[in-house]
Amino acid sequence: MATDDFFRARLDGMVDPQHPLAVLARRLPWSQIETSLAPLFARKARLGKSRDDADMFGPTLVVAAGGVSRAGRPRLPIRLMVALLYLKHAFNESDESLVERWSENVVWQLFSGMEYYQSKLPCDATQIGRFRRVLGEAGVEQLLKTTIEAAVAMKAVKSVELERVIVDSTVQEKAIAHPTDSRLLEVARAKIAQLAKRAGLQLKKTHEREGRTLRRRAGGYAHAKQFKRLRQVVRRQRTILGVLLREVQRKMT
């Protein structure tokens, strides 16, 4: 295959053309995506400031620092950043691991519009987050719409399958401790002591040292499956919490 660089091989000659990402790179309307997203990343024109100036014809009013500024580093190609965003969500990668894998993967570089392999990182990992913030919700919806249209054009999905949306409402169980658990009893004791101190109430005893000791003992008894001793520790923690509550109520009234 002809190449402009005699010492390097083109990526399209190194990758299987039937690879899913290679096929998707040829089918996606990249020019349409870049045209729709270009206004979001265009440099904004500034109004500038008016100031008085003088020349050979007399005093005049000029506008300084107006127009579109050309200062700063040029932006990265929109196709590259869109491809990185797509690869991040498709392969469930973090920003840091994404740029590292991209520098080692020739298929990802072909999908991003590169012609030759490059071993350096495509960008700093923080630039992906900034690109995502500038893109906004409307930009992400536009990318999703374009991807769905490309899938329908490739006959990967049928348009009939997109008429109904199935939402999975399965809720994953979370590790929520029971209200009478030893850890929550210790948290309640510490919170009551903290709030009483903030309100200016002088407590006889906050049981801070004993509370930490009981919490540690409860964890050891639970791990060793010594439930009788565990119940004794929890009972003592309830007693301490009740003593603090009653003392705070008396002093508040």
pTM of the model: 0.56
pLDDT at 149: 84
Collapsed DSSP state (helix, strand, coil) of residue 175: coil
How confident is the model over 32-76, as pLDDT tens digits? 888 888 888 777 766 666 666 666 666 666 666 556 666 667 788
pLDDT at 134: 86
* Structural tokens at position 223: 């791990």
In the chain, the percentage of residues whose pLDDT exceeds 90 is 28
Helix axes 78-90, 30-37, angle to 10 degrees: 110
How confident is the model over 116-156, as pLDDT tens digits? 888 889 988 889 888 888 888 888 888 888 888 888 888 87
pLDDT at 80: 92
Using only the alpha carbons of the chain, give its radius of gyration: 32
Collapsed DSSP state (helix, strand, coil) of residue 121: coil
How confident is the model over 181-205, as pLDDT tens digits? 888 899 999 999 999 999 888 889 9
Is it the case that residue 16 has pLDDT exceeding 80?
yes
Residue count of the chain, please give it. Answer: 253
How confident is the model over 239-251, as pLDDT tens digits? 999 999 999 999 8
Is it the case that residue 2 has pLDDT exceeding 60?
no
Name which of 114, 139, 128 is nearest 33 in CA terms.
139
